[in-house]
Amino acid sequence: MNFHVMTLFPEMIRNGLEESITGRAMNKNIISLNTVNIRDFSQDKHLHVDDYPYGGGAGMVMQPGPIYRAFESIKAQTGKEKLRLVYLTPQGSVFNQSMAKDFAKEEDLVFLCGHYEGVDERILEMIVTDYVSIGDYVLTGGELPAMVMIDAISRMVPGVLSNDVSAEFESFSDNLLEYPQYTRPEEFMGNKVPDVLLSGHHANIDKWRREQSLLRTRKWRPDLLEKAELTKKDIEFLDKNPIS
Ligand code: 6GU
């Protein structure tokens, strides 16, 4: 899968994604990251890419020309006339795991990172296919949201995660929070690892983990529990264990 990011801060995007799992996926050529500096497409002698808003008001607005030409360069590079293009904006639909899965089906995906007070509406109407936010708070620009999305989408691309992690994820992408994890030492500052995890009894361990997932989802994300597919056993367990 090829990610293309139109941004004024290409270094920020590259530095963030070259680490860890996304970095390894790039080295293995499972994903690629093409950062396009919008400023390279300025035709202004001072390389300006923004100007004052018509009608007045605070801040600056990104001009349509440089973004248009940056996108044309991506179309030429991919040889594709139609590309899915995500504009990162707090006004968009809130990103979630099912959107990550859906975007991961694309061979090429383009992101437009806005800055300043916004982007000229005309270029958005011309090229944007998806308006996406990452949550209800205001960030300085679209770079961090693009990185968040690329990380989450990459994990849904075949070969990026190990088969083990991938299979585990499948079984837990069911609207329940993860169970707690423990590693050595068996006792840390007087606190012991739950006995069941040391028992070697896999059925009991699975049961305990399922129950822990149910308890923490009910406690911390009751909104998720409503969407989760619960078995009769799950419901019985929750009924027998009132909220602590
Ligand atoms: Cl996508 N952009 C900005 N600037 N702020 C945000 C956001 C996006 N999502 C949440 N806050």
pLDDT digits (tens, 9 = 90+) for 69-79: 999 999 999 99
Cα distances (Å, whole numbers) of residue 4 to 7, 108, 136, 182, 215: 10, 7, 25, 39, 41
The yes-or-no verdict on residue 46 having pLDDT over 90 is: yes
> Does 222 sit behind a cis peptide bond, omega within 30 degrees of 0 on the bond before it?
no
Ligand 1 centroid – CA 19 distance (Å): 22
Mutate-to-test residue for ligand 1 from 87, 94, 113, 133, highest number of ligand atoms within 8 A of CB: 133
- What backbone torsions phi and psi does residue 77 show, to the nearest 5 degrees? -65, -40
Whether residue 93 contacts residue 133, with contact meaning beta carbons closer than 8 Å, is answered with yes
Whether residue 74 contacts residue 43, with contact meaning beta carbons closer than 8 Å, is answered with no
Residue identifier of the C-alpha nearest atom 2 of ligand 1: 89
Per-residue pLDDT at 235 = 98
pLDDT digits (tens, 9 = 90+) for 208-231: 999 999 999 999 999 999 999 999
Q: In terms of Cα–Cα distance, which of 122, 32, 116 is closest to 68?
A: 122
Ligand 1 centroid – CA 124 distance (Å): 16
Ligand 1 centroid – CA 135 distance (Å): 7
- pTM reported for the whole predicted model: 0.95
Ligand 1, CB cutoff 6 Å, lining residues: 88-90, 133-135, 137-139, 141-142, 145
Whether residue 114 contacts residue 142, with contact meaning beta carbons closer than 8 Å, is answered with yes
